[in-house]
Amino acid sequence: MSSLSKGVRKVEVSLRWDPSPLGEAAHDLDIVAATYSASAPHGDPAYVVHFDSRSPDGTITLTRDSKTGQGFGADEVLTLEFDRLAATYGRVVVGVAIQQRDRRRTFGDVTNTVVRIAEGPTELWKSTLPELSDATAAVVAEFVRGESGTWQFHEVVRGFDADPQSFIGLMGRD
């Protein structure tokens, strides 16, 4: 992680998983980032980046969005540029949600799921989410702006039994 005086500046969250078995509907996982105002860091999100979108100011961008888990490397990649994020924002919560199209799917149903959070070459956190086998969505990280204006990373792993749209309303609540 960056030195304590600098905090985290630019972070990449990557997600990968194996495609579903032949003949089954595709597994579709999504990275979700919710940004909260400094005045209401646990209220409703000011905005949400998910499903092939970006923040209004371009500081949070989903640069890769897979609907099947096929291909090499990361299936989804989210870039967060904290050094450019306006001072009106004080908290960003990052999660992963599984689309629930044809039936309920949990992380236990999706093989080789890996979430990685890195700042440049430095890995801040990586997990296969083994503790979330019964969850359909999960918060995996929280970034909080400190009094000095620097952003700090906090590993926060919480599972939810919610569809992606409902998860957005739940993910930032304590």
Measured in whole angstroms, how far is the alpha carbon of residue 168 from the centre of its chain? 11
Rounded mean pLDDT, 142-170: 95
Q: What is the largest CA-CA distance in the chain?
A: 53
In this prediction, residue 5 carries a pLDDT of 58
In the prediction, which pLDDT does 26 show?
84
Nearest C-alpha neighbor of 164 from the set 76, 70, 84 = 76
The whole-number pLDDT of residue 174 equals 72
Give the per-residue pLDDT at 70. Answer: 73
Chain segment 36-72, per-residue pLDDT in tens: 999 999 999 999 998 768 999 999 999 876 766 777 6
Q: What is the CATH number of domain 10-170?
A: 2.60.60.30
CA distance 70 to 17: 8
State the pLDDT confidence band at 73, using cuts at 50, 70 and 90. confident
- pLDDT for the residue 4: 47
The Cα–Cα gap between 143 and 173 comes to 14
Q: What is the pLDDT of residue 81?
A: 98
- pLDDT, one tens digit per residue, over 101-153 is 888 999 999 999 999 999 999 999 999 999 999 999 999 999 999 999 999 99
pTM for this model (two decimals): 0.92
What is each CA distance from 153 to 11, 15, 71, 96, in whole angstroms?
Answer: 10, 18, 29, 17
pLDDT tens digits along 7-41: 999 999 999 988 888 888 888 899 999 999 999 99
Pairing between β-strand 76-81 and β-strand 137-145 as defined by DSSP bridges = unpaired
pLDDT of residue 67: 67
**Would you list the domain boundaries of the chain?**
10-170
